[in-house]
Structure 1
Amino acid sequence: MRILWIKTSPLHPLTRGGDLRTFHLLRHLHQRHEVTFVGMTADAGQVAGALHSTEYSSQSFWAHEPKASLQLARWKFLAGALANVASSLPYAVERFRSSKLLNLLIAKLKEERYDLLISDFLFPSASLPWMSKSLSCPWVLFQHNVESMIWRRRAEGKVGLSARYYQSQRDRMLFFERHYSSRFDGVLAVSDEDARIFKEEMNLSNVLGVVPTGVDLDYFQSLPRTHSPIPTVMFMGSMDWYANVDGVNWFVETVWPLVQREMPQAMFVVVGRKPPAEIQALATSGRNIEVTGTVPDVRPYLRGADVVVVPLRIGGGTRLKIYEAMAAEVPVVSTHIGAEGLDVKNGRHVLLADTAEDTAAKVLQVLRTPAFGAELARHALEEVARPCSWAAAAQIFEDACVSLIQKS
């Protein structure tokens, strides 16, 4: 097939769950098909990341939308958020709208014939050449999350003007997601729950199926397991993602004091790219917290941790970080939202807790009883060997797309 794949950013550096999922799927699809990747770059880091596109595509084309400096970006964000009040689009979508990307896609569709167009995430939808759709190939939306669910959870608990703003964004995202998802010829979800929401709550009749989450077991088992005399609790995830920042802050403020009261020597390590100032400040708070920022390889941290926590209260789709921790044979304590969409059992593969007290109790249970943690990790490793490999997941993705093409 000749596939036109569209995303709002390069995949590298491979530090975000959605980018990792796309990379592994495209890496396998690229072995059998001609993939043209069209994306956007915003700064020098993304321009450098775009140079890696040969790893997952036959050719790539980029619309460059320069990003402001960090200080100016904060003011532009506030100005954009205020300007968005008068718009019908959710701000999370409008900030990615690009006439450069639109014109680039119009040119590519005129120049080449493709068998399939893939929108990776919902965000490119505002810049797609919808006027050309009837003359083009089948269009597929690859949805890594239910975006409106994320905004619904972000709006919960807000009060005053903040509540009104988040509720407005929630409603706009729901309208946008339902409307634009229905315009695609097919929608692919990443979990059964997401697929159910698309079908039953959004009344979409074009859901093609579910692309399961994979994991590279050999990769995470390739380094030896290490143990420190200091009990180590770890969080891993991109720290430029609101849900991760919210989860880490909640854990530090409500759970970590309970853990330290019983185990003062314990260390909490936050591993993830671009931590904001509020997260960086935790490293100098005197509470035994390390903030690494971007690391070249997450495996040494994973294989040296006693327990991985996934204290997410906001999110959607599936969390690759849980499967990666399971593959590295590290016990996991997660909220129910953190483990959403994954086929894991509480008490056998992971420990699930939603309150600060329950989360602290389960973290301490693993730290105090290494034999229990090892048994939990062993069951998790056995379970994570069952899910599809990335090659099998790519085949499921391909089969769904081929079926759509044949029907079209």
Structure 2
Amino acid sequence: MRILWIKTSPLHPLTRGGDLRTFNLLRHLHQRHEVSFVGMTADAGQVMGTQQAGEFSTHAVWAHEPKASLQLARWKFLAGALANVGSALPYAVARFKSARLRELLSVKLKAERFDVVVADFLFPAASLPWELKGESRCPWVLFQHNVESMIWRRRAEGKKGAVARYYQSQRDRMLRFEREASSRFDGVLAVSEEDARIFNEEMRLTNVLGVVPTGVDLDYFQSVPRTRAAVPTVVFMGSMDWYANVDGVKWFVQEVWPLVQREMPQAKFIVVGRKPPAEIEALATSGRNIEVTGTVPDVRPFLRGADVIVVPLRIGGGTRLKIYEAMAAEVPVVSTWIGAEGLSVEDGRHVLLADSAEDTAAQVLKVLRTPAFGAELARHALEEVARPCSWAAAADIFETACVGLKRQGSGA
């Protein structure tokens, strides 16, 4: 097939879950199909990331939408959010709307023929040249890594006053946009059964094709030796420029970590992830045995050196690759229920699930105090993650759905 793949950012550096999922699917699809990747860049780092596009695509072109410096970006974000108050689009979508991307896609679709067009995440939908959909004579597919409106619904929970009204407004706009935009595609692919259920039942979409499960590269995570630190070591792994991760780490440090340290003062907490904001970086100098690494060249040594991985997420959607990666690294996992949402894991056998600070601390301490229990949990987790789906198998499922749509459209 000739695949046109559209995304609002490059995939590299591979530090975000969605980028990792797309990369692993595309590198398998690219082995037997021609992949034209159309993306956006916003800064020098993203421009550098485009240099590795040959690892997952046959051709790649980019729409550059310059972004302000980090300091200015904060004011620009606030100004953009305020300007968005009167818009019908949710801000999370409007900030990616691009005339450059739309023009690039128009030229591409008029000049070339494709067998399938894929929008990766919901955000490109605002820039697609919808008037060319019929002329393209191929199915357009939305690959939904999350239920975006669910994320905003969770962000609105617990807020008060003007902040609550803002988040509720964004939640409502996102739900409208997500439902309307999703319905315009010939097919929607979700990443979990729960997400597919929401698209089917709550949004009443009739074009949901099914689920592309989360995969993991077992050999990759097992290839680094398992090590043990001199002190009990708890690790969080995730991009620290993602608000859900920042929220989760702050909650863990404020509410859970004091309970762990009360019982194990020598324990160490390591936050591994790119671009931590100042409030997270400050934790490293708080005198509470916390290390903040920032970007690291390889997460595996941190995974394989941890006594327990924590996933204290309270906001999110889709599935968290970090849990499968920890399971593949044979390290015990303690997660919130939202953190493990959509994954085929059993509480008490593959991972430990808890939502309150007290329960989370108790589960972390249980693993730290009883290494044999942690080892058994990790062994069951490794057996489970080895079974369900490799990335190659996930790519096959994605391919089958696209081929089925193509045949359906041609009457074959």
What residue is the counterpart of 2:237 in the other structure?
Answer: 236
- What is the one-letter code of the residue matched to 2:103? N
What residue is the counterpart of 1:365 in the other structure?
Answer: 366
Cα distance in 1 for residues equivalent to 2:105 and 2:229: 52
The structural deviation recorded for 1:23 is: 0.2
What residue is the counterpart of 1:68 in the other structure?
Answer: 68
Matches within 5 A, 1:326-365: 326-365=327-366
Deviations 1:46-67 (A, max 9, x none): 0000110000000000000011
What residue is the counterpart of 2:84 in the other structure?
Answer: 84
What residue is the counterpart of 2:402 in the other structure?
Answer: 401
- 4+ long deviations beyond 2 Å: none
Cα distance in 2 for residues equivalent to 1:147 and 1:255: 28
The structural deviation recorded for 1:229 is: 1.9
Q: SS at 2:341's partner residue?
A: coil
Deviations 1:228-278 (A, max 9, x none): 120000000000001000000000000000000000000000000000111
Q: Determine whether 1:24 maps to 2:24.
A: yes
- What is the one-letter code of the residue matched to 1:391? A
Matches within 5 A, 1:281-300: 281-300=282-301
What residue is the counterpart of 1:161 in the other structure?
Answer: 162
What residue is the counterpart of 2:95 in the other structure?
Answer: 95
Cα distance in 2 for residues equivalent to 1:77 and 1:249: 21
- What is the one-letter code of the residue matched to 2:106? I
The structural deviation recorded for 1:72 is: 1.1
- What is the one-letter code of the residue matched to 1:284? T
Matches within 5 A, 1:171-320: 171-320=172-321
Cα distance in 2 for residues equivalent to 1:83 and 1:42: 20
Deviations 1:172-223 (A, max 9, x none): 0000000000000000000000000000000000000100100000000001
- Structure 1, unmatched stretches of 5+, are none
What residue is the counterpart of 1:122 in the other structure?
Answer: 122
Cα distance in 1 for residues equivalent to 2:282 and 2:157: 26
How many residue pairs match? The answer is: 408
The structural deviation recorded for 1:135 is: 1.1
Cα distance in 2 for residues equivalent to 1:190 and 1:304: 29
Q: SS at 1:32's partner residue?
A: coil
The structural deviation recorded for 1:70 is: 1.1
The structural deviation recorded for 1:71 is: 1.3
CA-based RMSD:
0.4
Deviations 1:294-349 (A, max 9, x none): 00000000000000000000000000000000000000000000000001000000
The structural deviation recorded for 1:75 is: 1.0
TM-score where L is the length of structure 1: 1.00
Cα distance in 1 for residues equivalent to 2:219 and 2:174: 39
Q: SS at 1:398's partner residue?
A: helix
Cα distance in 2 for residues equivalent to 1:293 and 1:264: 24
Q: SS at 2:361's partner residue?
A: helix
Cα distance in 2 for residues equivalent to 1:17 and 1:74: 23
Cα distance in 2 for residues equivalent to 1:223 and 1:99: 45
Cα distance in 2 for residues equivalent to 1:72 and 1:370: 47
- What is the one-letter code of the residue matched to 2:236? F
- Structure 2, unmatched stretches of 5+, are none
Matches within 5 A, 1:24-63: 24-63=24-63
Q: SS at 1:144's partner residue?
A: coil
Q: SS at 1:31's partner residue?
A: coil
Q: SS at 2:334's partner residue?
A: strand
Q: Determine whether 1:112 maps to 2:104.
A: no
The structural deviation recorded for 1:74 is: 1.0
Cα distance in 1 for residues equivalent to 2:115 and 2:164: 44
Aligned residues with identical type, % of pairs? 82
What residue is the counterpart of 2:11 in the other structure?
Answer: 11
Cα distance in 1 for residues equivalent to 2:94 and 2:351: 38
Cα distance in 2 for residues equivalent to 1:228 and 1:80: 45
